[in-house]
Structure 1
Amino acid sequence: MLKVEGINVYYGNIQALKGVSLEINQGEIVTLIGANGAGKSTLLKTISGLLKPKQGQIIYEGQSIAGKAAQSIVKMGISHVPEGRRVFANMTVEENLDLGAYLRKDKEGIKEDFGRVFELFPRLMERRKQLAGTLSGGEQQMLAMGRALMARPRLLVLDEPSMGLAPLLVKTIFRIIEEINATGTTILLVEQNAHMALSIANRAYVIETGRVVLSGTPDELNASEQIKMAYLGGH
């Protein structure tokens, strides 16, 4: 579904991604694991059109999307939930969700998706008239995910969805990610919590200082001493 081939991305003179390649098949959950500053968020931003690669290819459903405008990429079916949630604080929950559908014209479908989001996140239904800025961190994360789903993506890109959340909420968010995937949405997940990420992923890539250093199934990565020591707390 998505093929990234040898991309190089720079911030000014600093090279953030060095020849990164990966692929995602339809229906998978693929996770990226790596330390802070390894280049994971940069990779997601490049896929969703917020950054342009200097070299390399990004092919989505057979079409080249490297360097395309972010809104065109949303239109093609990729939605990005950024790190730090980025909800519109002085708009209501309902208005935030509405913005997720801003490229769509199918009123009936949008209504249907409102229903779907409220089913996945009952808390948002209760808070729909509330300003997004008054929500808790967990509720804002739910809203950011719900807003991305309103674009009806075929590929949902999630950047650190569990960051700063209480353990119980982390479990909830991961359960919902699995539910979204079960309804046919492919997922690319960046997550500091490597244990949780590997527990739901089909495959994983490990990124270190801008390079993919390892990839495989969760079982393969869990069996790797190097990965255990670096990302799984040595257990």
Structure 2
Amino acid sequence: MLKVKNINVFYGAIHAIHDLSLEVNDGEIVTLIGANGAGKTSTLRAISGLNIIKSGEITYDNKIISNLGAHKIVAQGISQVPEGRRVFGDQTVEENLLLGAYLVKNKAEIKESMEKVFNWFPRVKERRKQFAGTLSGGEQQMLAIGRALMGNPKLLLLDEPSMGLAPIVVEEIFEIIKNIRKDGTTILLVEQNANAALQIADRGYVVETGSVVLNGPADKLLHDDSVRKAYLGE
């Protein structure tokens, strides 16, 4: 489904991503794990058209999408949930969700998507008329995921969904991520909580200083001594 081949990303003179390659197959949950500043978010932003790649190639469904405009990449079926949630606090929950469906012209389809989001996130439904800025951190994360799903993406890019959330909320979010995959959406997950991410993923990539240093089945990475020592606190 998604192939990232030897991409390089720069921020001015800083070489942030070095010849990074990864693949995501249809129906998988794939996770990128690594320390802060390793290049995980920069990789997601390159895939979704928010970072320009200097060289390399990104293909999705056998079409080259390298350096396409972000809105065109959304139209291809890729949605991103940004780090820090980035909901529009002065708009209602419902208005935030509708913004996620801005490319969908069929009103019945929008209504169906919203009902699906409400089924996944009952608390979001309860607060549909509230301003998004009044929600708790966990509720804002649910709203941000719901907003991305409103465009019916085939591939969902999730950037640090557990950041700043209580452990019980993190557990709930990861359970929902599993259910979203069961419903047919492929997921590429960036996560500092390596243990939680590898528990639900099919495969993983370990990123250090802008490069992939290790990859394989999630279960293998979960029991890899170097991964456990570096990212699982053991």
TM-score category of the 2 structures, normalised to the smaller one: over 0.9
Whether the aligned pair in 1 keeps the contact of 2:199 and 2:219 (CA below 8 Å) is no
The sequence identity of aligned pairs, in percent, is 63
Which residue of structure 2 lines up, in the alignment, with residue 100 of structure 1?
Answer: 100
Which residue of structure 2 lines up, in the alignment, with residue 110 of structure 1?
Answer: 110
TM-score under structure 1 length normalisation: 0.99
Distance in 1, Cα, partners of 2:157 & 2:113: 18
1:160-199 maps to which residues of 2 (within 5 A)? 160-199=160-199
Q: Give the C-alpha shift of residue 180 in structure 1.
A: 0.3
Which residue of structure 1 lines up, in the alignment, with residue 212 of structure 2?
Answer: 212
User: In structure 2, what residue type is equivalent to 1:146?
Assistant: G
Distance in 1, Cα, partners of 2:225 & 2:115: 45
Which residue of structure 2 lines up, in the alignment, with residue 130 of structure 1?
Answer: 130
User: In structure 2, what residue type is equivalent to 1:153?
Assistant: P
TM-score under structure 2 length normalisation: 0.99
Instruction: Please tell me whether residue 25 in structure 1 is matched to residue 4 in structure 2.
Output: no
Distance in 2, Cα, partners of 1:135 & 1:126: 11
Instruction: Please tell me whether residue 84 in structure 1 is matched to residue 84 in structure 2.
Output: yes
Which residue of structure 1 lines up, in the alignment, with residue 66 of structure 2?
Answer: 66
Instruction: Please tell me whether residue 57 in structure 1 is matched to residue 57 in structure 2.
Output: yes
Distance in 2, Cα, partners of 1:218 & 1:68: 31
Paired residue secondary structure (2:104): coil
Write out per-residue CA displacement over residues 134-175 of structure 1, whole angstroms, 9 at most, x where no aligned residue.
000000000000000001000000000010000100010000
Counting matched residue pairs gives: 234
Distance in 2, Cα, partners of 1:162 & 1:127: 21
Q: CA RMSD in A?
A: 0.5
Distance in 2, Cα, partners of 1:186 & 1:203: 12
Gaps of 5+ in 2: none
Distance in 2, Cα, partners of 1:223 & 1:137: 31
Q: Give the C-alpha shift of residue 84 in structure 1.
A: 0.2
User: In structure 2, what residue type is equivalent to 1:224?
Assistant: D
Which residue of structure 1 lines up, in the alignment, with residue 156 of structure 2?
Answer: 156
Q: Give the C-alpha shift of residue 55 in structure 1.
A: 0.3
Paired residue secondary structure (1:51): coil
Write out per-residue CA displacement over residues 49-89 of structure 1, whole angstroms, 9 at most, x where no aligned residue.
00110000000000000100000000000000000000001
Write out per-residue CA displacement over residues 189-219 of structure 1, whole angstroms, 9 at most, x where no aligned residue.
0011111100000000000000000000122
Q: Give the C-alpha shift of residue 224 in structure 1.
A: 1.5
User: In structure 1, what residue type is equivalent to 2:179?
Assistant: E
